Chain A
Amino acid sequence: MSVQTWTFLIVGLTFALYIGIAIWSRAGSTKEFYIAGGGVHPIANGMATAADWMSAASFISMAGLISFMGYDGGVFLMGWTGGYVLLALLLAPYLRKFGKFTVPDFIGDRYYSNVARTVAVICAIIVSFTYVAGQMRGVGVVFSRFLEVDINMGVYIGMAIVLIYAVLGGMKGITYTQVAQYCVLIFAYMVPALFISLTMTGNVIPQLGFIGTVEDGSGAYLLDKLDQLHRDLGFAEYTSGSKDMIDVFAITFALMVGTAGLPHVIVRFFTVPKVADARKSAGWALLFIAILYTTAPAVAAFARTNLINTVTNTEYAQMPDWFKKWEETALLAWVDKNNDGVIQYQKGAPFVGKPEQVRENGEAVRGQYGEVKITNAPSTDNANELYIDQDIMVLANPEIANLPAWVIALVAAGGLAAALSTAAGLLLVISTAVSRDLIKMQIKPNISEKAELWWARGGAAAAVLVAGYFGIHPPGFVAATVALAFGLAAASFFPAIVLGVFDKRMNREGAVSGMIVGILLMLYYMLKYKLGYFGGGGKDDWWFGISPEGFGTVAMVVNLIVSFTVSRLTAAPPQEVQDIVEDIRIPRGAGGAHAH
């Protein structure tokens, strides 16, 4: 069977599975819609959290990103896993004991203020929309590459699927589809990784192959060989960093704290029956995430070595089929600067911008050696002739390693599972923010449960449409704002929640002023140094040498200082709030989540 047939088959089967689960587990009450009825097994919740957390970017782009960053890629690996330790130790058990449905619920009640609640709602919506736009785009991209449909068509199909199970099933439907999606995505990630590890290092476990020797008779360690290749081609050594240490620290910290403050992750811990389960569930979630996150750097190193070996100083005519196929997608491009028909791969950009192909009647035009012609002006300051998009490292891996057609189809299904599961989790946060935190808690407190459920479904449907719009017309600032999402969460939610649990004296004035100062500072820094407002500025102007991606760390510290200072200068919180804090510190009496 061809790759295309396999892809239709496997993707079709997984979609049928997701919709089947959604129909079986549709929500009948707001409690089921918001927190899946509160009866999810901790291991199931761990899988759902892992799928919720690992997006199209984790699945498709991360290994490629690391393979181009080398050591510096560790900021993502540590940053996106270390946050779960903070979640398990500082947030999840207490929020579970508190027993409400959303993060703004906690902030609003703990700080006895609808202003605090509204600030939290706004943050939740900004963070989630930022994220979800990228996911819908990811769905479109995967569809277009593997099923050869238009990207926009891919976005529509993705919207339809998510609409069915998010609107129908709410958190309950999402939870059980995410469990299935985790299984699909981890299987799809591991199969090619195991194959490649075995062929390259003779060890089937990628994590061991990563630190093992290359299977080419030389007996050299893989990472030593890769460092050598990098030196030969004029790149920095793979295992050494090129970022400043302070910035590596700040980015890692901001990602960890931001992860622990993301509402779509936190809300998953409301769905387990007990406080002890919330702790346990965070452990399972991280274990399931770690399987992919410890494989990714191995895949990155394998793919990098493979790629350099295949292309460097080899005639274009001898390139394997996958090279020519992926050229068509503009993820690969070659300009023969010195007209020798041989690919020279070195440090530097081969040409200005992304490849612009010459196309006639929808077909790419090929040049004298058979290469896809591009119109970009070649850069003259280096001899590099090859353009490689980082996404190709995972997407083309099965072909590079000569794996069978069904594995290639599996990767498509895995990428879709990763994108859909994250999109659904985010959409739920948005719909809940509308139906519960705004309508029920602020505008119409007397609303019936049935009407609230309809608001929740309507909110989810509206959110899908908006997300789809952003997927089709991606705003240019999406890449910049994903970092902003972490920074925002780090600068707002994380301190407010942690102080709410660990500092009984923390009051409304302190928390609200801390959140507002933290968010504004973060926004200012991002707008100035990422998007060029307020006079812009480059690397040399950064405060303390910290990039906008890492600035969430600074904004969080400022939030903490402001919160602490203001709270000590204003009145202590009322006695009943202090009693709440005492109560959430002990597990007993958690029971089910309650609406009032």
Chain B
Amino acid sequence: MSGKNLQEYWKKNLGYVAILLAIWFLVSYVFGIFLADSLNAVRIGGAKLGFWFAQQGSIYVFVVLIFVYVYLMNKLDNEYDVHEE
């Protein structure tokens, strides 16, 4: 694979990582901590939303984030022909 393609592959990977980590930060630190008090005005079932993100929601999102990354990278690996046999 040529150097240019490799750079492009790496750049796309970094783009995915940046977006997914931004969501990671948003659900745990922003929703679960910084804005928890304000979000607590809203409810999901019997739980205040900020509290729920800190004890439940963020964990669900974490799991989804990893599987989304797996999906995106498998596709990217094939596209740039760097996947393993």
Contacts and interface: CB of A to CB of B under 8 A. Distances in A.
Contacts of B45: 208, 211-212, 221
Contact of B28 (A82, A211, A241, A274): A82
A586 interface: yes
Interface of B: 1, 6, 9-10, 13-14, 17, 20-21, 24, 28-29, 32-34, 36, 40, 44-48, 51-52, 54-56, 58-60, 62-63, 65-67, 69-70, 73-74, 77, 81-84
Contacts of B24: 82, 85
Nearest to A73: B55
Interface of A: 66, 71, 73-74, 77-78, 81-82, 84-85, 88-90, 93, 207-208, 210-213, 221-224, 239-241, 245, 248-249, 252-253, 274-276, 279-280, 282-283, 286-287, 290, 293-294, 297, 502, 582, 585-590
A473 B36 CA distance: 42
Contacts of B29: 249, 252-253
A588 B84 contact: yes
Contacts of B17: 89-90
14 contacts: A71-B51, A71-B55, A74-B54, A78-B58, A81-B58, A82-B58, A85-B62, A211-B47, A252-B28, A252-B29, A582-B6, A587-B83, A588-B77, A588-B82
A46 to B, nearest CB: 10
A291 B69 CA distance: 20
Closest 8 interchain pairs by CB?
A: A221-B46, A74-B54, A211-B45, A283-B66, A297-B55, A586-B82, A211-B47, A239-B51
Contacts of B65: 85
Given A81-B62, A286-B66, A582-B6, A276 B28 contact: no
B20 A78 contact: no
Contacts of A223: 46-48, 51
A141 B83 CA distance: 48
Contacts of B54: 71, 74, 77-78
A459 B8 CA distance: 45
Nearest to A93: B73
B40 to A, nearest CB: 7
A294 B60 contact: yes
B63 A210 contact: no
B79 to A, nearest CB: 12
A77 B56 CA distance: 8
A241 B13 CA distance: 37
B66 A88 contact: yes
Contact of A85 (B14, B21, B32, B34): B21
A84 B46 contact: no
B56 A207 contact: yes
Nearest to A279: B70
Contact of B52 (A73, A211, A213, A502): A211
B63 A590 contact: no
A245 B33 contact: yes
A88 B48 contact: no
A249 B32 CA distance: 10
Given A74-B55, A78-B54, A276 B32 contact: no
A89 B10 contact: no
Contact of B59 (A90, A221, A283, A290): A290
